[in-house]
Structure 1
Amino acid sequence: MVTILGTHTVIPKEETPKGLLWLSDNDQLWRWSHTPSIYVYNPKQNNAKNNNTVVDVNVLVERMRESLSEILVHYYPLAGRLSWTDGGRLELDCNAKGVLLLEAESKKSMAEYGDFTPNEPSIKELIPAVDYSCQINELPLFLAQVTKFHGGDGGFAVGILFSHPLGDGLAAIRFINSWAKLTRGAKLDPSELPFLDRTVLKPTGPLTPPLFDHREFKPLPLILGRTDNIEEQKKKTTFALLKLTPEHVQKLKKNANANNPSPRPYSRFEIISAHIWRCACKARNLEENQPTVVKFNVDIRNRLNPPLPQNYFGNALGPTVTPTCYAKEITTQPISYASQKIREAVNKVSNHEFVKSQMHYVAGFENRWDLIRTPYLEKGEYRADVPFFGNPNIILGSWMSMPFYEADFGLGKPFYFGPGGVCPYDRGVIALMPDEDGDNGYGVVVYMHFQVDHMKDFIKYFWEDI
């Protein structure tokens, strides 16, 4: 059980620009709620050479509060509030109402939380809670909770909620790492400051018809013989965390590149995604002629011409989807076959003209809900118009290359970072994260929610096929 000892509203330390900040069409594409994550620290372990110094929670929170106020001068949009326009767009009022920092204490030791995986119900108490029944313009866009664990281990958790319309994963991590850097007494380099003007993603000139068939915004394949995915939505699911060591990754690379028709080796993402796709098709026991795809997002910061400014703060993700394949092709062909299909999806979003066409396509929708709908079940209802990425498809989120372990608040690097929650129903969402125990970050952790009926077979194939 966690007791909240204090709640602090933190505003920018200095006067910041006021008024509306235009949000790009890319910012409009994602759920308007917050993304939860958690960092866990063991300063006693990190400070073993310094007489096992135990950090005082009051001192730590005060340092974090001061540095948060300082970093908000540069990231002042986070201290604002969202609202809806009459046309159904999100807009941001930079009103400096502030963010929330919570100070908490747990009656449980760090060890009692186990491995901190997001399926553990108790993990939720380490992350701030948001009342989404409030008006959107009342909700803070960033919340952090610092929890001191019970006992002599000196451990802390920092639970984070970051509003998705304000930025993607890379934007959030850069903010948190800069905040941590100030907290531990270091100075920010000018190159680390955010670029806040999102109009660089605003289509110029009149909207033009799409030059490509943007299948990434269209319905995904259904189970053969079905007209909707409601039956799949109702099936029970379970959670698993699978760790790929650097040796596992190298073996997969060797297998995939043995049949690679291209001189460029397949990347970690391409071969791990292909491996997951093959195992999912096998575990689901799909019919041979069952169409299936993998959908994911690609960082487009350096894929535009010219590229976005360094440290662009916002959402800069290009959705993409593989060519539609038959399950038999994915399961019987070498892993290089599925790897190549993943690469083809990546290559789409590496094309400046494709991304530009995608921007015009999205801007052409008067109501963005026609593209995304709501990503959550409402009042327990299952809806055919809600995006569903589960059986027979997969949606992947890759955070493998993000510098999570640079978030040192003066406690040393975190010994654990992970998502703060998992989808309670199968939407096929699988997250790829860096493994802190890996060699130079090449180990990979696979967080996945999958239908109960198929999870055992998925894990079986996952290890057998390596």
Structure 2
Amino acid sequence: MGGSKEYAVTMKAKERVAAVLPAQEHRLPLSNLDLLLPPIDVGVFFCYEKPLAEQSPATFATMVSALKTSLARALVTYYPFAGKVVTNSVGEPELLCNNRGVDFIEAYADVELHELRLYNPDESVERKLVPKKKEGVICVQATELKCGGLVLACTFDHRIADAYSANMFLVAWAETAASKAISLPPSFRRSLLTPRRPGSYDPSLDRLYVPVSSLPALPPPSPDQEPAVNRIYYIVADDIARIQVAAGGQRTKIEAFTAYLWRVLSRTTRLDDKVCRMGAVVDGRSRLARGGEMAGYFGNVLSIPCGSLRVGELKDMGLAEVAEVVHGWLRPALTEEHFRGLVDWVEARRPEPVGARICLGYEDGGVGCVVSSGRGFPVGQVEFGWGRPVFGSYHFPWGSPAGYVMPMPSARGNGDWVVYVHLLGSFVDVLEAEEPPFFRPLTADYFLPDAN
């Protein structure tokens, strides 16, 4: 395998790609569940090998042309991605659908695909392959590698789309490039998330969510404060199954994984009274489904239930016990009533900005982490005519005091997981010290078996 190296990225061109058939300009309000998100951006990227000449005559120029042409067509259906976020009369964000277009960057990286040390995206991805969005709702960058490979990356506004929505768009973009009909047309019907009259919600939501103004201001970071780092690992299918069995066998893979992480998090400190919090992102579409209407809903339909245990408690519990606790605080969020109540909870506080408590920080000095299941990550479907990606991952250094971990299916399609983590360095050290190893640093040998 080629070693990691410092490399330069040269921006070659930038243009704005608009929908070929613009819709009439209008404003699209955000739903109450969109309003739970702060103004943060999420990145995603895919790595493609150089097309084989006998299979595809594609060059970087022709690949970029195909990407732009199909993007302009896909934006006809996904027109919110061609708009921009504005502020309404009461200070809340909403979407102006005006077909401003998507900023599309062409770049060249003086590195070969097998030389990218994707295990450390702080070094190999951040500010290089995944673009920083400056305007609009989404930004795209296509980067040619020295070997003739391609990295396609997108950065999008989380207030407009969750990962499910972004995945829908990526698949639709690829289908458009292949001149196929879009298999799952998006729905922008905000009425599917209309508050009830009168509203009603369980008091437990006051524990999970909070008006931003009610929290004390977090102190500015001190020079000696430990920074968060970004890492990408893979977990082999057999190890996922082993952890699920150790968690009792009755829990889902994501419940077992969350329990495993929670126990590891407790080992980062010797202070038994310190509070450890663990949260998990739940998609509410299947909970709110009305004859399948929510399947194509574009926007945010997320909740982040969480639990708290002290370090000493976690250290005394077995994995199956911790998995039972995880199941206990996840189960109430897996209902239609939870999401209807969350819509009503936000409505009762508008236009006050609100958010998930675990993401906003705590004054007690506790530590926290959020797991977001990326099992729907469409790494095998983002194919534009020159082969499937050999690797793909989300990239989300979100700036929250809590860590963030997202397992996704591997492009190898063998049941392995690729896992993106954004965690304190001390937590990463503990993860990597686990025996037997569970989180394995991603190398080119994994996604390019012929790398040398």
Farther off after superposition, 363-372 or 456-465: 456-465
Matches within 5 A, 1:157-168: 157-168=151-162
Match of 2:214 in 1: none
Equivalent in 144, 148, 151 of residue 144 of structure 2: 148
Q: CA separation in 1, counterparts of 2:403 and 2:25?
A: 41
Instruction: Kindly indicate whether the alpha-carbon contact (under 8 Å) linking 1:4 and 1:102 is maintained by their aligned counterparts in 2.
Output: yes
Whether 1:404 aligns to 2:379 is yes
Distance apart, 1:215 and its partner CA:
1.5
Match of 2:446 in 1: none
Matches within 5 A, 1:303-322: 303-304=287-288, 306=290, 308-322=293-307
Match of 2:206 in 1: 214
Instruction: Kindly indicate whether the alpha-carbon contact (under 8 Å) linking 1:426 and 1:451 is maintained by their aligned counterparts in 2.
Output: no
Distance apart, 1:161 and its partner CA:
0.9
> TM-score scaled to structure 1, two decimals?
0.82
Q: CA separation in 2, counterparts of 1:465 and 1:12?
A: 45
Q: CA separation in 1, counterparts of 2:185 and 2:108?
A: 33
Structure 1: which 5+ residue stretches go unaligned? 132-138, 220-226, 259-264, 376-384
Distance apart, 1:52 and its partner CA:
6.1
Distance apart, 1:465 and its partner CA:
8.4
Q: CA separation in 2, counterparts of 1:64 and 1:431?
A: 27
> For 2:66, what is the secondary structure of its paired residue?
helix
Q: CA separation in 1, counterparts of 2:11 and 2:119?
A: 20
Moved over 6 A (4+): 227-233, 387-390
Q: CA RMSD in A?
A: 3.0
TM-superposition CA deviations, 1:398-426 (whole Å, max 9, x none): 21332232101112111111233535786
Matches within 5 A, 1:52-91: 53=56, 55-91=58-94
Structure 2: which 5+ residue stretches go unaligned? 1-7, 212-216, 440-452
CA change 1:300–1:126 in 2 (3 A) is same
Q: CA separation in 1, counterparts of 2:121 and 2:192?
A: 36
Matches within 5 A, 1:16-415: 16-44=23-51, 47=52, 51=54, 53=56, 55-115=58-118, 117-121=120-124, 123-131=126-134, 139-150=135-146, 153-183=147-177, 185-189=178-182, 191-208=183-200, 210-218=202-210, 234-257=225-248, 265-287=250-272, 289-304=273-288, 306=290, 308-322=293-307, 324-371=308-355, 391-415=366-390
User: Once the two structures are aligned, what percentage of the paired residues are identical?
Assistant: 21
Instruction: Kindly indicate whether the alpha-carbon contact (under 8 Å) linking 1:389 and 1:428 is maintained by their aligned counterparts in 2.
Output: no
Q: CA separation in 2, counterparts of 1:38 and 1:336?
A: 35
Distance apart, 1:140 and its partner CA:
1.5
Q: CA separation in 1, counterparts of 2:167 and 2:294?
A: 17
Distance apart, 1:332 and its partner CA:
2.1
> For 1:257, what is the secondary structure of its paired residue?
coil
Match of 2:447 in 1: none
Instruction: Kindly indicate whether the alpha-carbon contact (under 8 Å) linking 1:142 and 1:163 is maintained by their aligned counterparts in 2.
Output: yes
CA change 1:424–1:165 in 2 (3 A) is closer
Whether 1:4 aligns to 2:11 is yes
CA change 1:461–1:12 in 2 (3 A) is same
Q: CA separation in 1, counterparts of 2:364 and 2:123?
A: 23
> For 2:155, what is the secondary structure of its paired residue?
strand
The residue type paired with residue 115 of structure 2 is E
TM-superposition CA deviations, 1:199-230 (whole Å, max 9, x none): 211203233464544311159xxxxxxx9787
Distance apart, 1:164 and its partner CA:
1.1
Instruction: Kindly indicate whether the alpha-carbon contact (under 8 Å) linking 1:37 and 1:418 is maintained by their aligned counterparts in 2.
Output: yes
Q: CA separation in 2, counterparts of 1:216 and 1:71?
A: 37
TM-superposition CA deviations, 1:279-323 (whole Å, max 9, x none): 110232331x4433211220000112636432111111122112x
Q: CA separation in 1, counterparts of 2:315 and 2:361?
A: 28
Q: CA separation in 2, counterparts of 1:3 and 1:145?
A: 12
Distance apart, 1:169 and its partner CA:
0.2
TM-superposition CA deviations, 1:162-220 (whole Å, max 9, x none): 1212110010011011101221x23124x51111112211203233464544311159x
CA change 1:416–1:389 in 2 (3 A) is farther
The residue type paired with residue 405 of structure 1 is G
> For 2:105, what is the secondary structure of its paired residue?
strand
Instruction: Kindly indicate whether the alpha-carbon contact (under 8 Å) linking 1:118 and 1:421 is maintained by their aligned counterparts in 2.
Output: no
The residue type paired with residue 318 of structure 1 is S
Instruction: Kindly indicate whether the alpha-carbon contact (under 8 Å) linking 2:40 and 2:398 is maintained by their aligned counterparts in 1.
Output: no
The residue type paired with residue 187 of structure 1 is K
> For 2:46, what is the secondary structure of its paired residue?
strand
